[in-house]
Amino acid sequence: MTAPVAILGAPPAFPDGVPYVRPALPPLERLTARLAPSYDRGVITNGPLVRELEVAMAARLGTAHAVAVSSCTAGLMLALQSFGARGAVLMPSFTFAATAHAAVWNGLVPVFAECAPDSFQLDVGDAGGRLDGVDVVVANHVFGTPCRAEAVEELGARAGARVLFDSASALGARRGGRPTGGFGDVEVFSMSPSKPLIAAEGGIVATDDEAIAEHVRLGRDYGNPGDYDTRFVGLNARLSELHAALALESLDALDANLASARDHAARYQAVLDDLPGVQVQRVDDGDEPTWKDFGIRVDADAFGLDRDELAAALAREGIDTRRYFSPPVHRQQSYAGHGSEPLPVTDAVAGSVLTLPAFAALEPTTVDRIAATVATVHEHADAVRAELRRA
Ligand SMILES: *Cc1c(COP(=O)(O)O)cnc(C)c1O
């Protein structure tokens, strides 16, 4: 009898395939109705819908300011620029490249620190040994799970450095009951299609600091306050009314979508927590992730397959996965000349973490079947590995 695993000849678990992510979008008529008042007046960028979004986001995040920009990357660039920093920018290498790109576009030098092997978040202890010459500390809420933000704030205080969070995936997350958004000097969120709140493209810069908010408002408009005498070298990083209309619709659906993602995560945990060789991303007690990505770490010896072999087996079942964040930033070609210190923990994490589909619109039964498929692949790991090596 053949094992019930597609790579060994069984029918795939999902003949039609499960995508990694499908954005939760409102019915098109809702979007056009939301847009109409601006559109009919000929106001299509940085208008009343953007203002409405900014007011709603500041209320939701509990910050004095929420400034809408055209992407998280642009928001990170402008927020970093607002610090006027000259020294190094300490950050994890286990993050999306844009975290580091924002520093380099500002002419600043990233210094990479390790991540923790269980939470995948910035290892604050390791980072504490790399503070020499550091003006800015950056941490990422990895996969939408809050990092230990107050420990990162303390690190910044110890170094006399500003603190920025790349919160791209973390809109709607809570750390110890507090929403992400108000930690450090500034937090920057993404509204791109794979993120919890969707504008198609867009970002939100959240801060209690009036000077940072004003810099970003000016900087998204070339640095031009309206008199065409630019005060500094800004960008065009405005959010359009079309994007704001979609973001406002998405904000109305955010809590329901977060609840779905939370349910998916609980279903995954119920099966995967007990599976040998699988370590689910560690979340501190009381924290609420967005579960933008559901990350597991695969121990090849205990699981019987390494991360890439598991990904290959799941692909044959029709299940799309991601290897975030691999390669880690310090291993990417764009940072080849950068001369990072060795980061063995980061290399090990990046080489063993796999993220599973967890988007809101997934059926709960689909999540259960994906989890069960991972367990079945583990049960037949020896045969799967033999087949993968033979092929
Ligand atoms: C998605 C993402 C970004 C980039 O966001 P954009 O809005 O596409 O610029 C930056 N950092 C992290 C950690 C991300 O996940």
Which tens digits make up the pLDDT trace of 195-204?
999 999 999 9
Output the pLDDT for position 367.
98
Ligand 1 pocket, residue 98 CB under 6 Å: yes
Burial 181-212 (b: 16+ CB within 10 A, else e): bbbbbbbbbbbbebbbbbbebbbbbbbebeeb
Look over the chain and give the mean of its residue pLDDT values, rounded to a whole number: 97
Atom of ligand 1 nearest to the CA of 99: 11
Ligand 1 pocket, residue 355 CB under 6 Å: no
Please give the backbone phi and psi of residue 287, each rounded to the nearest 5 degrees, phi first: -85, 150
Average pLDDT over residues 15-32: 97
Q: For 203-217, what is each residue's pLDDT tens digit?
A: 999 999 999 999 999
Confidence of residue 2 (pLDDT cuts 50, 70, 90): low
For ligand 1, the distance from its centroid to the CA atom of residue 226, given in whole angstroms, is 29
Indicate whether 339 pLDDT > 90.
no
Instruction: State what percent of residues in the chain have pLDDT above 70.
Output: 99
Ligand 1 pocket, residue 169 CB under 6 Å: yes
Q: For 72-101, what is each residue's pLDDT tens digit?
A: 999 999 999 999 999 999 999 999 999 999
| Rounded Cα gap, residues 352 and 350, in angstroms | 6
Atom of ligand 1 nearest to the CA of 142: 13
Output the pLDDT for position 344.
98
Would you tell me how many other CB atoms lie within 10 Å of the CB of residue 40? 8
For ligand 1, the distance from its centroid to the CA atom of residue 167, given in whole angstroms, is 8
For ligand 1, the distance from its centroid to the CA atom of residue 196, given in whole angstroms, is 12
Average pLDDT over residues 120-149: 98
> Is 173:144 a contact under the CB 8 Å cutoff?
yes
Atom of ligand 1 nearest to the CA of 190: 7
The identity of residue 175, as a single letter, is R
Model-level pTM? 0.98
Instruction: State what percent of residues in the chain have pLDDT above 90.
Output: 97
Average pLDDT over residues 104-112: 97
